[in-house]
Amino acid sequence: MQFDTFLMERNQTLFENGVEINLTESGVHPCSIEDILPAEEAQALLNLPLGYGWTDGRPDLRAGIASWYRDAAPENVLVTNGSSEATMITLMALVDPGDRVLFVVPNFMQVDGLGRALGINVERLPLLADQGWQVDPEALEKAVAGGVKMIAVTNPGNPTGAVLSPRSREALIAAAEKTGAWLLVDEIYRGGEIDGEETESFYGSYPRTIVTSSLSKSFACPGLRLGWVLGPEEVVAEAAKRQDYTTIGSGILSQILAAAVMDPENRERILARGRMLLRENADIVGRWVEKRNRWSWERPAAGGMAFLRYDFDMLSEALSEKLREEESTFVVAGSWFGIENHIRIGIGVKTEHLVEGLARLDRFLARHGLA
């Protein structure tokens, strides 16, 4: 089985830990265990037997996850090792080699690369950049003509931070209903809204909807590697069959901490912490862009990232590489999402790191005559 290189993930793996300023992350600056658990409960973890625990997810964790979605029950939840495993086993459960999957881009490129490796016919549907990264209903209708097994989308979006409008949501649901397709929605940035209300989940809007998510982004706990599949019970059961052959289940420590995070009262406190940081840092980036004629952006609605467009002649991968080598500052190349003349920078980092990173970017641009 042949896999294309997952450009963003491979580059992050190689370089993110070796730079002074890492602006490639799209989540909120991580929580500590003390941010999640009272001291006595954290201390009690030292006496925990490190057994397997509940391989499909602790009952209190599954209940906590389900409580974040309208009309969901614990039976609709399968706990996974991050959202990447959630997406992988969902694809394996629902799509066969040769089936068509419509992949809405720009997007986290896992479905694209993994799907093709599994023999799936993945076709891309571009969002409309000049309309705030929204769906083109006419293009969508043409794309699903002849049938499609699944439509895959991220909301809020990656790398744009855009939230789909009611019109875009309605178009996607109508297309799925018309063809009987599964609607796979990555909602990993839900809860990290910067200016508006919490993004409405797609779950419950159409019977053949599957949502994947994790604690890595808005919940600021990437080190737990804790995600989930949310969908009809039969889909959860089929995904669990695949998990039995892959990771078997997630770690007991991660599940205990995740259950505490997803307790409704704790959950809202942790999300509020992140939103405050994202709002402050988005304002900083906004002021930076306003003062620079060669840069523009669409202010993100959610998520720990800003997708910045520039108008000079340097490939985004070259910009990322040179900035990393010359200023020890790492940003994501837009080409890793298939979009040139853009970079993605993390706005969920500590504010002082963001400010320093932008200063280093300014220094780099001045040195190359691009300011």
Sorted by where each begins, the domain ranges of the chain are: 7-31+267-365, 38-264
According to DSSP H, which parts of the chain are helical?
A: 7-15, 33-36, 39-44, 59-66, 82-94, 110-117, 137-144, 166-179, 233-243, 252-261, 264-290, 316-327, 351-367
182-186 and 150-154: which strand pairing? parallel
Q: Which residue has the tokens 């993004």?
A: 199
Contacts of 122 (CB under 8 A, 6+ apart): 101, 103, 111, 112, 115, 116
Q: Which fold has domain 7-31+267-365?
A: Aspartate Aminotransferase, domain 1 (3.90.1150)
- Residue 127's alpha-carbon distances to 19, 68, 172, 190, in angstroms, are 33, 28, 12, 19
Contacts of 266 (CB under 8 A, 6+ apart): 36, 260
Cα distance from N-terminal residue to C-terminal residue, the chain? 45
What pTM was computed for the model?
0.96
Q: For residue 28, which of 354, 363, 358, 360 has the smallest C-alpha distance?
A: 354
Read off the DSSP letter of residue 128: B
| 300 phi/psi in degrees, rounded to 5 | -65, 145
User: Mind listing the pLDDT tens digit of every residue in the chain (371 residues)?
Assistant: 899 999 999 999 999 999 999 999 999 999 999 999 999 999 999 999 999 999 999 999 999 999 999 999 999 999 999 999 999 999 999 999 999 999 999 999 999 999 999 999 999 999 999 999 999 999 999 999 999 999 999 999 999 999 999 999 999 999 999 999 999 999 999 999 999 899 999 999 999 999 999 999 999 999 999 999 999 999 999 999 999 999 999 999 999 999 999 999 899 999 999 999 999 999 999 999 999 999 999 999 999 999 999 999 999 999 999 999 999 999 999 999 999 999 999 999 999 999 999 999 999 999 999 98
Q: Which fold has domain 38-264?
A: Aspartate Aminotransferase; domain 2 (3.40.640)
Round the CA-based radius of gyration of the chain to a whole number and report it.
Answer: 20
Instruction: Find out whether 188 and 83 touch, Cβ atoms under 8 Å.
Output: yes
Contacts of 208 (CB under 8 A, 6+ apart): 176, 180, 181, 182, 183, 232
332-333 and 182-186: which strand pairing? unpaired
